[in-house]
Amino acid sequence: MTLDPVHVAGAGMIRFGKYPREVTLETMGASAARQAMTDAGVGPADIEALYVGHVFGGPVAGQRIGARIGLAGKPVSNHENYCSSGATALREAWIAVGAGLYDLVLVLGVEKMTDRIKGGVQPDAGDLDAASGFIFAAGHALSARRYIADYGATREQIAMVAVKNHAHSVMNPYAHYQKPVSLADVLTARPIAEPLGLLDCSPISDGAAAVVVASQAGLRRLGVASAPKVAGCGLVSGTVQTGLGDVNEEDVSRRAGEEAYRVSGIGADEIDLVEMHDCFTIAEIVRLEGLGVLPRGEGARLTEAGHTSLGGRLPVNPSGGLLSRGHPVGATGVAQICELFWQLTDRAGGRQVEGARTGLAYCKGGSVSGTDGASVTTVIMTR
């Protein structure tokens, strides 16, 4: 099926961070939604449907938020794909608008974690990995050790992902953290899982982000001549793995990237910037390699050399990424789309990627024992 062109007409976020208990999921979601609608120049009467990504928001979170912002009675769908939840909600909206079902819809990603999650997030209690005591930090520590052994990378090179992303976030008013960290800070931070320390790990955050998605008819209703286009969305799940395999093969990332490249007609060599799911420092490196935007085994060295920094050949996470912008899991995917929207409309301020015309956002959510991942989304946007 060929979809009609789909665009992002406006974006809104609240600053990610740790909010007191009285700042509720509904409050945060409503605030981001109103900002996105204001940015797009639409009111509740213009919005035809609401798509909401969240993980820990409880039953019908989207309907609870929709009632607060004047969308009661409209079609509302809730989407849970762990860290890919917000991006999955965007993909469903992209399909619906591209198929001609709607002209203007609202996509919201929202999460309140700090009063619901203690320590790190884990697989579902019924999953074999959880039953055996597996935590995500341990899996990524294994990835880092294997990467160092296989490719001769250094601990310092991996740590430079955190240094880079914190430097970027200084220029992002929506970021959880807005101060730089040094290489020494990362290397001497409290150990979490060898070789990774606290600053190699994304924080537990609260937050919300929203975008208005429009057809070309929707843009005409808004009096907008052009807006960034959602050129393609990929969604894949992990495949069953047998034997020991290669922990850093990232076949699931390769397949997700290939799906977005196929649908959009845009290749990996045409990407100007990436918003990457850097839940841990090593994750940014191996997933970029899995997408084919960096050569396999070269990501750590290229990070150290500035290739993925602002001003480099392929800026990655100009927003600060999960490591520094923060990671309220249901909101992350939509926050990445907000960043691409601002970059492609030259509204990213001091973190603007000069000449950016094409951006890619990647999320990887959850794990299922015996597979190479649960859910991976890829979104390509163009001017």
- Listed by start position, the domains of the chain span 6-116+205-226, 142-196+231-382
What is the CATH topology of the domain spanning 6-116+205-226? Peroxisomal Thiolase; Chain A, domain 1 (3.40.47)
pLDDT tens for 317-349 read: 999 999 999 999 999 999 999 999 999 999 999
Can you tell me the mean pLDDT for 87-95? 98
Q: Do residues 190 and 348 lie in contact, with contact meaning Cβ atoms separated by under 8 Å?
A: no
Helix (H) or strand (E) holding 195: none
Active-site positions read 83, 327
Is residue 291 very low, low, confident or very high in pLDDT (cuts 50, 70, 90)? very high
pLDDT computed for residue 1 by the predictor: 67
What does 128-169 look like in DSSP terms, one character per residue?
HHHHTT--HHHHHHHHHHHHHHHH---HHHHHHHHHHHHHHH
Q: Do residues 208 and 14 lie in contact, with contact meaning Cβ atoms separated by under 8 Å?
A: yes
The answer to whether domain 6-116+205-226 and domain 142-196+231-382 are alike in fold is yes
Distances (CA, A) of 27 to 14, 19, 188, 253, 312: 10, 11, 37, 34, 38
Rg (CA), the chain: 19
pLDDT tens for 229-287 read: 999 999 999 999 888 889 999 999 999 999 999 999 999 999 999 999 999 999 999 99
Where does 142-196+231-382 sit in CATH, by number? 3.40.47.10
User: Nearest Cα to 341, choosing from 63, 114, 107?
Assistant: 107
pTM of the model: 0.97
